[in-house]
Amino acid sequence: MAIEWSAAAREFHLRNDQVSYVIRVLENGSLGHVYFGAALAEGKSYGHLVPGEFYGFSNRLGQAVPLEFPTGGTGDYRIPALALELPDGSGVLDLRYKSHRILPGKPVLPGLPSTYVDTGVEAETLEITASDHVAQIEVRLLYTIYHDRPVIVRGARIVNSGPSPVVVRGVMSASLDLPDSDWELISLSGEWARECHVERLALRPGRQSVSSTRGASGHQHNPFVALARRATTEEHGEAFGFSLVYSGNFLIEGEVDSFGTTRMRAGINPEGFSWLLDPGAEFITPEAVLAYSGGGLGELSEAYHLLFRERLTGPAWRDRDRPVVINNWEATYFDFDEQKLLAIASAAHDLGIESFVLDDGWFGRRNDDTTSLGDWQVNHAKLPGGLESLARKVEEIGLRFGIWIEPEMISHHSELFAQHPDWPIGLPTRPRTEGRNQYVLDMSRPEVVDYLFGVVSAVIGSAPISFVKWDMNRNITEPFSPTLPAWRQGEFMHRYILGVYSLYLRLTRAFPEVLFESCAGGGGRFDPGMLAFAPQAWTSDDTDAVERLKIQWGTSLPYPLSSMSAHVSAVPNHQVGRITPLSMRAAVAFFGVFGYELDPTVLSAGERAEIADQVAFYKKWRDLFQRGRFLRLLSPFEGERDQTAWMTVARDARTAVVGHYRILSRPNPGPQRLRLRGLDPAASYRVSTWPTPAEVPGRPARQVLLGGDELMAAGLVLESNRASAEQGDFRARLYVLEAS
Ligand code: GLA
């Protein structure tokens, strides 16, 4: 890995064995973009790749020049990376190279979550300073390259070096000019209970984007986009990834210009945003993670999975086993008392489950969703001995204890509201819009964050609590803070999320042993910003196995299995009413951080035995399910959509678990083989299935020792298509591969 600067060619070349990123200081001093993609040889100039000589913002042919951090007003009419309102009211900006530094490692971003290094030698950072001497603005562009990852982490710092205030109207974390537009844009879009559905559409002239204006990244779009060639599959072809380490209003946008080039940009959504920069003040963008793969979407995902698991998730939990949890939400909703909870915990313990998480309803007078958010004092009517007594009893049973909390929220009917009626977000001149009967606290106010740190710390400190599920169940309306002057109201949404980050940082520092799980009505804030504090997230409120195939498939594009909380729930499913076999529900939820969301006290003996077997199976293969290499095989979004398959392979390729899911049964199916990936072609694998099929007298024994070469080239003959007696809708079969 190296960052080279050639003074003669005026070029920067960031490279490792997997990728190269080339920047050139143009003749007029602007920062030109030359190349991002597969690694190129070092010690050479690549400036000639950009056709024509540079004359300002267009070349000799009048074509737009690829730029690193484009601005408006001097001839580049495409989407800018930075838009300012200068003291004279103009927005013309012309950034020219001033200086640069190459730093070992990666600097910490104050106030914002970011990827990090463990040692200074694993990455290098280039900081280029560009300035506009008329506007008296300095921009520091940051590029980090790790020695062994196909990613470039980017961000920017905007400094007002003039004597008057300047307004930032929009600032991106990264902008990338690509030389053609022969790409399909893949986004993860959806709604509550159907998050992260994969959308794939060819780029066309003009702009196309995903974004949020909700104050959270949102269920509707995830802050991740991939560009893939039309022919790119999971296994083959080129792909770029754009991921924003941010949990608030974001924008990831592409623009295809009249010459068929593509500009991508990613950053805080400029819609509704402005930021006043006083003289000397600096604005720091969240960071964007750009990735390149020449080996399909699978390789792109692998780059994000490893980076997010190893260098975004905080060190305290990144390498540790995540417990198998039982959560009481779908088992009881608000209707519980200590006896009921202990009965659940005790039954769960008999099944091998490791942690009990007490969900909504333990505090204030909360017996439905109309009251008490903000009153984080235990409800003694339900839990007479308080949290401590309950937690100790749960621990005596043999489980760890965890708790649900929604710190950013406040109910109208709450003591907190009576004490601080001005803390909920809203305008004094308008009624506040309610969502799920609740308001959002003004997290831009330091006193609110301080207060919450105090009460949440008191809750966590009051009992042996080892797990916190931090929920956030509605989006922001009437964005406004009375503590900000009129000309700073455009800062509100970003200040809100900075407040959330500050609370997360303080709490995770104060309680490093506690495992935090983020949640926002399921996957409404499943983003890299949250992962920096909470190593896992509740993937979706939808626990139906069939729906989860799509949700988990889409979520896995950027996010690792270790971040996806996935539970088995009761049937008929509470979100869609579907009845799927218990084995199918587990076989889907295994591929993530596994748990249960049902009442184990009402199970039949047969179901209890099945669940005990599931928990034991997950624990046996936990390392594979939480840290293996995840490979998607058959997409629920493609083909006839009646099946899905994926697998996880150990880092040394000695073991693997393959999941194959048949959604609707087919009459008279033909034989089917599933080609696996990521195995050792020279190894022989013992193949066993889960659930273990009942012995069928007279059926020839299945061949159980198969070569890695055969499994990858010819494929695995699927059991589910061989035995007609096993047919039926919603069937899952797992194949465990162990190298002998
Ligand atoms: C949200 C969460 C659920 C549950 C409820 C409790 O919807 O996503 O898992 O915690 O809140 O009110």
Task: Quick: pLDDT tens for 633-658.
Answer: 999 999 877 999 999 999 999 999 99
For 137-148, what is the mean pLDDT?
A: 98
Whole-number Å distance between alpha carbons of 91 and 74: 10
Q: Is the CB of 538 under 6 A from ligand 1?
A: yes
Two tokens, residue 12: 């920067």
In ligand 1, the atom with minimum distance to the C-alpha of 519 is: 8
In ligand 1, the atom with minimum distance to the C-alpha of 522 is: 8
pLDDT band at 66 (very low <50, low <70, confident <90, very high): very high
DSSP element (H, E) containing 129: strand 123-132
Q: Is the CB of 517 under 6 A from ligand 1?
A: no
For 441-468, what is the mean pLDDT?
A: 98
Q: Which residues pair with 240 in a beta bridge?
A: 227, 292
Instruction: Tell me what pLDDT residue 723 has.
Output: 47
Ligand 1 centroid from CA 705, angstroms: 45
Residue 721 has pLDDT above 60, yes or no: no
Q: 470 burial class (0-12, 13-18, 19+ CB within 10 angstroms)?
A: buried
Whole-number Å distance between alpha carbons of 642 and 550: 12
Ligand 1: residue of 328, 333, 358, 360 to mutate (most ligand atoms within 8 A of CB) is 360
Whole-number Å distance between alpha carbons of 476 and 528: 20
Q: Is the CB of 328 under 6 A from ligand 1?
A: no
Q: Which residues pair with 253 in a beta bridge?
A: 209, 265
Instruction: Tell me what pLDDT residue 328 has.
Output: 98
Q: Is the CB of 471 under 6 A from ligand 1?
A: yes
Among the ranges given (63-72, 89-98, 355-364), the one the predictor scored with the smallest mean pLDDT: 63-72
Q: Is the CB of 643 under 6 A from ligand 1?
A: no
Contact 406, 470 (CB under 8 A): yes
Instruction: Report the DSSP pairing between strands 564-569 and 536-538.
Output: parallel
Residue 697 has pLDDT above 60, yes or no: no
Alpha-carbon dihedral 131, 134, 135, 136, rounded to 10 degrees: 60
Q: Is the peptide bond before 691 cis (omega within 30 degrees of 0)?
A: yes
Q: Is the CB of 195 under 6 A from ligand 1?
A: no
Please tell me the residue having the least CA distance from ligand 1 atom 2.
521
Q: Which residues pair with 546 in a beta bridge?
A: none
Q: Is the CB of 542 under 6 A from ligand 1?
A: no
Give the number of other Cβ atoms within 10 Å of residue 231's Cβ.
11
Active site residue 471: yes
What b/e string do you get for 284-315 counting C-beta neighbours within 10 Å, with b at 16 or more? bbbbbbbbbbbbbbbbbbbbbbbbbbbbbbbe
Instruction: Tell me what pLDDT residue 728 has.
Output: 86
Active site residue 442: no
Instruction: Tell me what pLDDT residue 57 has.
Output: 58
Two tokens, residue 548: 């989860």
Whole-number Å distance between alpha carbons of 79 and 270: 11
Ligand 1 centroid from CA 194, angstroms: 15
Task: Quick: pLDDT tens for 503-525.
Answer: 999 999 999 999 999 999 999 99
Task: Quick: pLDDT tens for 320-332.
Answer: 999 999 999 999 9
Catalytic residue among 471, 527, 542, 544: 471
Q: Which of 169, 124, 165 is nearest to 148 (CA)?
A: 124
Ligand 1 centroid from CA 596, angstroms: 14
Ligand 1 centroid from CA 407, angstroms: 13
Question: Tokens 């587990």 label which residue?
Answer: 586
Q: Is the CB of 595 under 6 A from ligand 1?
A: no
Q: Is the CB of 522 under 6 A from ligand 1?
A: yes
In ligand 1, the atom with minimum distance to the C-alpha of 541 is: 8
Ligand 1 centroid from CA 678, angstroms: 37
3-class secondary-structure state, position 127: strand
Q: Which of 585, 574, 504, 511 is nearest to 549 (CA)?
A: 585
Please tell me the residue having the least CA distance from ligand 1 atom 12.
360
Q: Which of 511, 411, 493, 400 is nearest to 453 (CA)?
A: 511
Ligand 1 centroid from CA 503, angstroms: 20
- Select the more confidently predicted residue: 639 or 339: 339
For 92-113, what is the mean pLDDT?
A: 97
In ligand 1, the atom with minimum distance to the C-alpha of 359 is: 10
pLDDT band at 669 (very low <50, low <70, confident <90, very high): confident
Please tell me the residue having the least CA distance from ligand 1 atom 7.
521
Whole-number Å distance between alpha carbons of 223 and 242: 8
Ligand 1 centroid from CA 390, angstroms: 21
Contact 144, 150 (CB under 8 A): no
Two tokens, residue 608: 């209890």
Task: Quick: pLDDT tens for 238-296.
Answer: 999 999 999 999 999 999 999 899 999 999 999 999 999 999 999 999 999 999 999 99
Please provide residue 264's backbone torsions phi and psi, each rounded to the nearest 5 degrees.
-110, 145
How far are the Cα atoms of 271, 553, 643 from residue 639, in angstroms, in the given order? 38, 15, 9
Two tokens, residue 578: 């579907």
Please tell me the residue having the least CA distance from ligand 1 atom 11.
521
Instruction: Tell me what pLDDT residue 137 has.
Output: 98
Q: Enter the pTM of the model.
A: 0.97
Ligand 1: residue of 195, 334, 436, 471 to mutate (most ligand atoms within 8 A of CB) is 471
pLDDT averaged over the chain? Answer: 95
Instruction: Tell me what pLDDT residue 363 has.
Output: 98
Ligand 1 centroid from CA 540, angstroms: 10
| Coarse DSSP helix, strand, coil percentages of the chain, rounded to the nearest 5 percent | 20, 35, 45
DSSP 74: S
Instruction: Tell me what pLDDT residue 591 has.
Output: 98
Whole-number Å distance between alpha carbons of 686 and 675: 16
Instruction: Tell me what pLDDT residue 670 has.
Output: 85
DSSP letter string, 272-311: T--EEE-TT-EEEPPPEEEEEESBHHHHHHHHHHHHHHHH
Ligand 1: residue of 369, 404, 597 to mutate (most ligand atoms within 8 A of CB) is 404
Whole-number Å distance between alpha carbons of 700 and 287: 57
Task: Quick: pLDDT tens for 196-243.
Answer: 999 999 999 999 999 999 999 999 999 999 999 999 999 999 999 999
For 117-146, what is the mean pLDDT?
A: 97
Ligand 1 centroid from CA 668, angstroms: 42
Task: Quick: pLDDT tens for 557-586.
Answer: 999 999 999 999 999 999 999 999 999 999
Angle formed by the axes of helices 338-350 and 605-620, nearest 10°? 60
Catalytic residue among 177, 359, 541, 544: 541
Whole-number Å distance between alpha carbons of 356 and 346: 10
Please state the three-class secondary structure of 364-378 as a single string. CCCCCCCECCCCCCE
Q: Is the CB of 541 under 6 A from ligand 1?
A: yes
- Residues in Cβ contact with 65 at an 8 Å cutoff, skipping those fewer than 6 apart: 26, 30, 32, 50, 54, 57, 58, 59, 76
Whole-number Å distance between alpha carbons of 644 and 662: 7
Ligand 1: residue of 330, 359, 373, 542 to mutate (most ligand atoms within 8 A of CB) is 359
Among the ranges given (59-63, 169-173, 268-272, 370-374), the one the predictor scored with the smallest mean pLDDT: 59-63
Q: Is the CB of 359 under 6 A from ligand 1?
A: yes
